[in-house]
Amino acid sequence: MRRVVITGIGVVSPIGSGKNKFFESLASGNSGISRITVFDASSFPVQIAGEVKDLNFNECELEYPAVNGIKDRKVFFGLSAFIEARKDAQLSDEILQNKRTTLNLGVSLEVLGIEDIGPSVLKGKVDFKHFHNNVVKSGKSLQIPLDFTNRTIIKKHKMVGTNFINCSACAASAQTIGHSFRMIQRGEIDIALCGGMDSMINPLGVGGFGLLGALSMRNDLEKCACRPFDAKRDGTVLGEGAGILVLEEMNLALKRNVHIYGEIVGFGSSLDAYKPTDPDPDGNGAALAMRTAIHSAGLQEHQISYINAHGTATPKNDEIETVAIKKVFGQNAYSIPVSSTKSMIGHLIAASGAVECIASLSAFENNLIPPTINYSTKDYFCDLDYVPNKAREWGGDYILTNSFGFGGQNASLILKRWQNHES
């Protein structure tokens, strides 16, 4: 099997856009959670989120004119992360246009402009004349297709290799990374730009997740509202952003003499087959994904020295993930640092796996484990080492990062510290 390394990073997040800002904020334990400003949420029970506030959308419009007039924020996040990752990995147009270079991205839902449709619907009836005159004829983009970002990139750069869109909720971008890793391993491709982008900070997203009871309603706490593994947690906080990584066959990367952030050595994916919204209470699906990733890497469980958890701060998820970790690692689970970067950035849904994979790479780059901030009260059922509140010095070699999505869609990745190119 061929070896796969990471040679480029592009990230957009609530705590900083660009890898340098992102890494610095992780090390400092900064929170990107604040009051929602992208729409009027004053009538919503949930009024907080992790918004991206430092991204210049005009730069994306200049580079990709096709996005002019687009309202869907995740499109801009994905394009910005792509631009950074491509530059970071020194990918020329010639490399992008090679048939052995692929683009694989994860995303969640198409955005529907309900604020434009709403006035056309009254008491359950559709006023089609109003809809036609005020929406259709105006040229407003009611719905952005899931593959819009892919198509925009492919057309601009004349990419002819394989590409796919993965829509598997919170596991989406982790799965695109895992599948891209396997494609390179098997020799099907040489380079993959993979990851994902998302923004559910809109009336449908905030309203829908709020109705499910998945979100924290501690609007007064703002920056302290997302409390993974803490006994006082009451739900996750939505975030937004994008993460794109450049995966590359090792010998090609060495030949190109580019910086290597780490190596991907394992991937596991599974389904709970339980409920559309709830994880398996026994943690069996999550445990299977972790075991599969570890064993596909040819490792033993004791070799994992840090776990970047899914850690959503919902009461059930954190408890079940803890159960699953104990099933996989046994008594050794108590000696492995586990942290949730969602405490700082919120839940980026389809983008979460890629952004948290990049957060894990920061541990290799800075020799620091990013903390779980807002941790103050120990939970009886969540009793592992969650790296509370402050980053921790660390020099381990293997990281496990988890992404567990709605419908019991689970993905785990194993990252290895890059040391040399021994065969």
**Active site residues per annotation:** 170, 310, 347
Does residue 185 contact residue 263 with C-beta atoms inside 8 Å?
no
Which residues is 416 bridged to in the sheet? 263, 398
- Report whether 264 contacts 181 (CB < 8 A): yes
Residue 185 has, within 13 A of its CA and on its CB side, a CA count of 14
Can you tell me which residue has the tokens 């559910």? 200
User: With the C-alpha atoms ordered 76, 207, 194, 13, is the resulting torsion angle positive or negative?
Assistant: positive
Rounded Cα gap, residues 43 and 238, in angstroms: 17
Contact 6, 192 (CB under 8 A): no
Run of H or E residues at 8: strand 4-12
3-state secondary structure of 418: coil
Backbone region of residue 412 per phi and psi (left: phi > 0; alpha: psi in -120 to 50; beta: other values): beta
Q: What is the largest CA-CA distance in the chain?
A: 69
- E strand segments, 256-361: 262-271, 306-308, 338-339
- Dist CA 369 CA 392 (whole Å): 5
- Cβ neighbours of residue 306 under 8 Å, at least 6 residues apart? 336, 337, 338, 339, 360, 363, 369, 394, 396, 398, 399, 400
DSSP, collapsed to helix, strand or coil, labels residue 385 as: coil
Neighbours of 30 (CB within 10 A): 17
Q: 3-class SS at 15?
A: coil
Tell me how far apart the alpha carbons of residues 61 and 149 are, in angstroms, rounded to a whole number: 13
Distance in angstroms (rounded) separating the CA atoms of residues 354 and 198? 11
CB-count burial class (<10 Å; 0-12, 13-18, 19+) for 211? exposed
For 118, residues 6+ apart whose C-beta sits below 8 A from its C-beta are none
Quote the CA–CA distance of 285 and 200 in Å, as a whole number.
Answer: 26
